[in-house]
């Protein structure tokens, strides 16, 4: 089976290429390299000992993607490519709607034209807005609070609408919770440009001495220690979930939606303590005001993915903290 991976050199896409290649799939990836680097292709090949066919192409330039479809016939597309910074999306809504929505429509037009009607889409727990209760199941009400989240919700609806007039379409929507960690080799991971917005990359840069101190955004939430609670999931577990989703998308039609999370909520201070214990490095922190748009608590009920995909997360928080630090150390040349 041959799978096309959009955004294949990105953080989650690259780990997914590894898992697909390890399972014997033929994998073709493309990316415009806006938020990733070409050397990821060599790294994926080094880890797997297999060939990753790569094209530099931009979803906004439909013709740049056409050769990919001319040269290969795909059984399914896993669609990661997107802009993903929540804060930036508030400042640059047009860029987010254009890239994520128009780009995806270009991709889908080519899929239709070349007869590939199966898509696995990277959605996000952000589509649940501020959930009234936890754990969150897939049938919870949906809402968004920023343009990034809106692109995810709109695309969920757009892909679902494809299935209405055309019974051949198969759509799997995967709602990721908070991916962290890195490949155990230290060759793949997340290296954000500039000062990280997300918790784990920030902590790793404090550990590396690149940043002085973590700001904890609020300690007055209605949570056990007052800091925000999230469902952190190892990126390799998340990547493996896509292999199960490929089996689903190729063996069914219509729309199937799954949460990919662990079902466990950890607070910001839990993460700080776990990182310190796993890696033997002190993380200085100060309490800061709440960050605009943050919610108190968010974690998944991952039962549907277990029942229907046969997938569940395996890696614990200690492993997530070790692998995040291992990658950061190696990528900064600290060992």
Residues that bind ligand WQD (CB under 6 A): 84, 86, 124, 126, 178, 197-199, 202, 214-217, 228, 230, 268, 291, 294
Distance CA 135, CA 209 (A): 36
The nearest distance, CB 122 to ligand NAD, in angstroms, is 3
Residue 55, binding choice from ligand NAD, ligand WQD, none, Cβ under 5 to 8 Å by partner class: none
Distance CA 155, CA 137 (A): 19
- Is 211 in contact with 203 (CB distance < 8 Å)? no
148 in active site: yes
Give the residue ranges of DSSP H helices in 54-133: 62-71, 86-91, 93-96, 103-113
Residue 197, binding choice from ligand WQD, ligand NAD, none, Cβ under 5 to 8 Å by partner class: ligand WQD
Binding region for ligand NAD (CB under 6 A) out of 5-13, 127-135, 156-164, 288-296:
5-13
- Is 147 in contact with 98 (CB distance < 8 Å)? no
Contact call for residue 122 and ligand NAD (CB under 6 A)? yes
**Which residues have a Cβ under 8 Å from the Cβ of 251 and sit 6 or more positions away?**
none
Contact call for residue 96 and ligand NAD (CB under 6 A)? no
Q: Tell me the site size for ligand NAD, rule CB under 6 A.
A: 26
44, 47, 58, 76: residue in contact with ligand NAD (rule CB under 6 A): 58
Residue among 25, 96, 128, 148 flagged as catalytic: 148
Distance CA 103, CA 6 (A): 11
Distance CA 220, CA 202 (A): 21
Phi-psi region at 278: left, alpha or beta (left = phi > 0; alpha = psi -120 to 50): alpha
Q: Which residues bind ligand NAD (CB under 6 A)?
A: 7, 9-13, 31-36, 58-60, 80-84, 99, 103, 122, 124, 176, 179
User: What are the residue numbers of the active site?
Assistant: 148
């Amino acid at each position: 089976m041959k799978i096309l991976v959009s955004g294949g050199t990105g953080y989650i896409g690259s780990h997914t290429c590894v898992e697909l290649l390890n399972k014997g799939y033929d994998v073709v990836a493309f990316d415009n390299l806006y938020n990733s680097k070409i050397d990821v292709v060599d790294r994926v090949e080094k880890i797997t000992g297999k060939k990753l066919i790569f094209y530099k192409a931009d979803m906004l330039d439909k013709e740049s993607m056409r050769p990919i479809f001319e040269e290969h016939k795909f059984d399914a597309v896993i669609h990661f490519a997107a802009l993903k910074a929540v804060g930036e999306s508030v400042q640059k809504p047009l860029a987010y709607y254009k890239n994520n929505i128009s780009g995806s429509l270009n991709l889908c037009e080519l899929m239709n034209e070349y007869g590939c009607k199966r898509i696995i889409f990277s959605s996000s727990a952000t589509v649940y807005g501020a959930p009234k209760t936890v754990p969150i199941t897939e049938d919870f009400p949906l809402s968004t609070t920023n343009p990034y989240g809106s692109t995810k919700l709109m695309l969920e609806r757009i892909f679902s609408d494809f299935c209405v007039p055309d019974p051949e379409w198969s759509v799997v929507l995967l709602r990721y919770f908070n991916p962290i960690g890195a490949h155990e080799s230290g060759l793949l991971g997340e290296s954000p440009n500039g000062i990280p917005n997300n918790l784990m990359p920030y902590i790793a840069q404090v550990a590396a001495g690149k940043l002085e101190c973590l700001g904890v955004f609020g300690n007055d939430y209605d949570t056990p220690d007052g800091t925000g609670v999230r469902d952190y999931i190892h990126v390799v577990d998340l990547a493996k979930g896509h292999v199960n989703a490929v089996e689903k998308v190729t063996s069914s039609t219509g729309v199937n939606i799954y949460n990919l999370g662990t079902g466990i909520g950890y607070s910001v201070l839990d993460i700080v303590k776990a990182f310190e214990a796993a890696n033997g490095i002190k993380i200085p922190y100060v309490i800061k005001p709440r960050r605009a748009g943050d919610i108190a608590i968010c974690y998944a009920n991952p039962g549907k993915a277990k029942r229907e995909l046969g997938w569940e997360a395996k890696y614990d928080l200690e492993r997530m903290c070790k692998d995040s630090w291992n990658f950061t150390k190696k990528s900064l040349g600290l060992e």
